[in-house]
Structure 1
Amino acid sequence: MATEEKTFSDFKLNKQLLNAIADMGFTKPSPIQEKAIPRILAGQDLFGIAQTGTGKTAAFVLPILMKIKYAQGNDPRALILAPTRELVIQIDREIKELAKYTDLRHVCVYGGIGPKTQIEEIQKGVDILVGTPGRVMDIYLKGELVFKQLKVMVLDEADRMMDMGFMPQIRKFLEVIPRKRQNLLFSATLPDKVVTLSEEFLEFPERIEVTPQATPAKLVEQKLYYIPNFLTKINLLGELLADEETFSRVIIFTKSKEHANNIFKFLSRKGKGETRVLHANKGQNSRINAIDSFKDGEVRTLVATDVASRGIDVSSVSHVINFDVPVIYEDYVHRIGRTGRANNTGTALTFCNPAEKYHIGKIQKIIRMQIPVEDLPANLEILPTTKEERQKINKEIDHQKRRENPGFKGAFHEKKERKKDSPYLKALNKKKKSGNRKNKRRR
């Protein structure tokens, strides 16, 4: 007998929330929402493992809105911490949509801009505070935040928080907030440090896992290209983006601001549609405008470092291109999760040079699958690798071999040894020693 599909009404949410859900076009809860909402409403601590793009934000926002119901007092009763400004803004926007028929007050705070305006908003009264750990702690230390009324605390994207070194600040929060509270922790991957955090942060948690940890979204088709160097990667990018119909809305992820800027210049010069670049050196308003323009369809291509891999929620991204392979392997899941969202299909392409093959192997272990390898287009111009880039690649490969085998001495060392053992050098050294002995006798 088939089980009846759940609806949001089954969670006994109030009319205001159900109307907001209907306005957003949600018809049935996603698996993470179906599992998390009843448990959070029941007051349980929760450890949720769910890949990006699964409706995770609504899974904790809806029950929080239901529990605190209406505006009350001046101090926050729910605190949501997220690792990046982009993700904080995204969560706050979802709260705005879901709480629009209530009088609940929400404020988001983050770095990159002065705290004055954010503090003024908090002083008006706040029920739900969303922020990055650093900025929330800064405002607390200024005496502008009181946590005595806090009932719920959420750590979203906990794995990324650990990667970004937020653990000391989170421990400080645990010292200043009420002990009697509900704790919710969400993560797309499950490294050991997140397990350690969950043991410190949660009390007898209910663990829910809607997909195996670090599983890429099912609707994302993955492809891998082996490419010899940076310039050939640029050529391939140009070839692919020439197909404007297929590559309609694209996010390109890079490992550095330098690569992001170079790709942006190339695409702007080649006229590959409206392009914006997003990285840590860009001002906050510039970053927000770039994401908004991309969401609205005014921008075809967004070039970004990993600062944006978890903060962009756009349902119609056709392609994600990993121009560089991420060296924090869980970031691969978060990058490609920017496409294949909200039941739309998407494609993730990864460009891999010889030094990045090592990282691809590690990523494939984490996602428990082999990424299908694609042939390079027949008309692609494959350029020679520059001497500087070849040296960098060889140095990185040596470093990888040494990491796997501490006894490995490296290509440079081996070359030195070969030179030392050559008959010519042996004869030369013998001659030098003989000359040194004669000089000593003369003295």
Structure 2
Amino acid sequence: MPSFEDFKLNRQLLNAIADAGYTEPTPIQQKAINPILAGQDVMGIAQTGTGKTAAYVLPMLMKLKYAQGNDVRALVLAPTRELAMQIAENIALFARYTDLRTVVLYGGLGPKAQISALEKGVDIIVSTPGRFLDLYLAGHIVVKQLQMLVLDEADKMMDMGFIGSIHRILEIVPRKRQNLLFSATMSELVHKIAGDFLKFPTVVEVAPQATPAQTVRQVLYEVPNLKTKLNLLQHLLKNDEDFNRLIIFCKTKAVADNIYSFLQRKYGEEQVRVIHANKGQNTRINSINAFKEGDVRMLVATDVAARGLDISHVSHVINFDVPIVIEDYVHRIGRTGRAFNTGDAITFCNPAEVYYVRKIEKLIRQQIPVVELPAEVFIEQTPFDERQAIAREIDMQKRKENPEFKGAFHEKKHAPSSAKGKTANAAKSGRNPVNKSARQKRRK
């Protein structure tokens, strides 16, 4: 097994790596660091939680070495604020014995403090695409000295519709630069941007794309309805020794808020936090920090938090809902079993979600073991409205696979034309529309 000494990194970086407690490089680091140090364009594909960030941060710091001038020399683009902040934390961790200056940029906050930080001089910018473009177009960022451009979590960036922003950024940065692209999955859009972005890249793939880490144990519970999901969640959480730090992923903000309220009533406000797109930036940062530091046992989140949460020793990830964007499953469960630790990923699946589970299994090329509901979990009757919603969703899935399919919820025929409609309505009321004028005359 090679060590970090084998990469010929300088003593400042090696000391920072030792202080961080890392002793041996992960497979993606073993394969990516040397090509990046050699100046090659690299496309890295690896599961989340395998050390992708350090795989490009360490050679980046080695190449930049020390603070120089006022203008940015390396730019890292990330899809979410949480991931941008996480990358900036990684850079600070490894650059602690250097004088390199890093500024992190993201929306949701006023730009005044970020502009002030840029004016003091910067070597590395970590940013979401939108905020970077805003500050560049306002004249606060000069890119003439840019040497390295990194796209992290490129697949999520494509899912979130950033392809236009990335093309605009590619137009304004110098043509002569080193490009790095990292992703856990390789969708059609990622292939497209890779073709525009990378020149004869070295492809580094440590596992087939979209493969969950081997350190994550996966199980699936087939649950008939929402109330039974809540009963199952409550049953699992009784084991507070094993379920000591967990993330509960939900499909929507409304469901996340409801689960948060439920857990808050059961376990108290000090044990649970919720994060989603409607929460203010400071609230999200404080919630994540409280969870990281172990002050909070449970974090309820939408997929906004599935990327970039690098938290050690998350014992369990619970998918309260099956994600509709199936690639998000890989990123959700990657929040546990990180950096050679083991973890558990538990998915609750109602009849309408089986469709997405099958697609996830096809994506990850493995079956998720189904576990019977514990005998202690009370199985609730499915209310009429929820039963209808599940049936409607299943109909829609069947129609997606077969456009000719006509289920119980197929679209109604168009209303009759206005002339026919009037006649029909009049007939229903027992009146003859032809005799309308005669009736009016009699009234007179």
Q: TM-score range by the shorter chain?
A: over 0.9
Question: What is the match of residue 386 of structure 2?
Answer: 389
The amino acid of 1:31's aligned partner reads P
1:328 correspondence with 2:307: no
Question: What is the match of residue 346 of structure 1?
Answer: 343
Secondary structure, counterpart of 1:117 in structure 2 = helix
CA 1:413/1:138 → structure 2, altered by over 3 Å: closer, same or farther?
A: closer
Question: What is the match of residue 63 of structure 2?
Answer: 67
Q: Which among 29, 40, 57 is matched to residue 25 of structure 2?
A: 29
Secondary structure, counterpart of 2:21 in structure 1 = coil
What is the 5 A alignment of 1:9-24? 9-24=5-20
- Taking the aligned partners of 1:303 and 1:243, their CA distance within structure 2 comes to 18
Question: What is the match of residue 407 of structure 2?
Answer: 410
Secondary structure, counterpart of 2:370 in structure 1 = coil
Question: What is the match of residue 291 of structure 1?
Answer: 288
- Taking the aligned partners of 1:225 and 1:299, their CA distance within structure 2 comes to 26
Shift of 1:412: 3.2
Q: Which runs of 5+ in 2 are unaligned?
A: 414-426, 439-444
Shift of 1:413: 4.4
Q: Which among 177, 183, 190 is matched to residue 181 of structure 1?
A: 177
Q: What is the CA deviation profile of residues 93-121 of structure 1, one whole-angstrom value per residue up to 9, with x for unaligned ones?
A: 01001000000000001011111100100
| Total equivalences in the alignment | 421
Q: Which among 240, 244, 265 is matched to residue 240 of structure 2?
A: 244
- Taking the aligned partners of 2:280 and 2:27, their CA distance within structure 1 comes to 37
- Taking the aligned partners of 1:413 and 1:289, their CA distance within structure 2 comes to 46
1:147 correspondence with 2:143: yes
Secondary structure, counterpart of 1:412 in structure 2 = coil
Q: What is the CA deviation profile of residues 378-436 of structure 1, one whole-angstrom value per residue up to 9, with x for unaligned ones?
A: 0111111122211111111111000000001221349x99xxxxxxxxxxxxxx99x99
CA 1:176/1:320 → structure 2, altered by over 3 Å: closer, same or farther?
A: same
Taking structure 1 as the reference length, what is the TM-score of the superposition? 0.92
1:271 correspondence with 2:267: yes
- Taking the aligned partners of 2:346 and 2:176, their CA distance within structure 1 comes to 46
The amino acid of 2:31's aligned partner reads K
The amino acid of 1:401's aligned partner reads K
- Taking the aligned partners of 1:55 and 1:125, their CA distance within structure 2 comes to 29
Q: Which among 295, 304, 307 is matched to residue 304 of structure 2?
A: 307
- Taking the aligned partners of 2:308 and 2:224, their CA distance within structure 1 comes to 31
Q: What is the CA deviation profile of residues 128-163 of structure 1, one whole-angstrom value per residue up to 9, with x for unaligned ones?
A: 000100111111011100100000000000000000
The amino acid of 1:141's aligned partner reads L
Question: What is the match of residue 80 of structure 1?
Answer: 76
Q: Which among 225, 230, 249 is matched to residue 226 of structure 2?
A: 230
Secondary structure, counterpart of 1:222 in structure 2 = strand
Q: What is the CA deviation profile of residues 354-379 of structure 1, one whole-angstrom value per residue up to 9, with x for unaligned ones?
A: 10000000000000001000000101
1:262 correspondence with 2:254: no
The amino acid of 1:217's aligned partner reads A
Question: What is the match of residue 45 of structure 1?
Answer: 41
Secondary structure, counterpart of 1:150 in structure 2 = coil
- Taking the aligned partners of 1:274 and 1:226, their CA distance within structure 2 comes to 27
1:357 correspondence with 2:354: yes
The amino acid of 1:399's aligned partner reads M
The amino acid of 2:276's aligned partner reads H
Q: What is the CA deviation profile of residues 327-379 of structure 1, one whole-angstrom value per residue up to 9, with x for unaligned ones?
A: 11110000000000111110000000110000000000000001000000101
Runs of 4+ with deviation above 6 angstroms: none
Secondary structure, counterpart of 1:396 in structure 2 = helix
Secondary structure, counterpart of 1:80 in structure 2 = strand
Secondary structure, counterpart of 2:98 in structure 1 = coil
Question: What is the match of residue 421 of structure 2?
Answer: none
Secondary structure, counterpart of 1:311 in structure 2 = coil
Question: What is the match of residue 377 of structure 2?
Answer: 380
Secondary structure, counterpart of 1:320 in structure 2 = strand
The amino acid of 1:308's aligned partner reads A
- Taking the aligned partners of 2:133 and 2:410, their CA distance within structure 1 comes to 49
- Taking the aligned partners of 1:276 and 1:404, their CA distance within structure 2 comes to 39
- Taking the aligned partners of 1:241 and 1:118, their CA distance within structure 2 comes to 41
Question: What is the match of residue 426 of structure 1?
Answer: none
CA 1:65/1:413 → structure 2, altered by over 3 Å: closer, same or farther?
A: closer
Secondary structure, counterpart of 2:131 in structure 1 = helix
What is the 5 A alignment of 1:79-228? 79-228=75-224
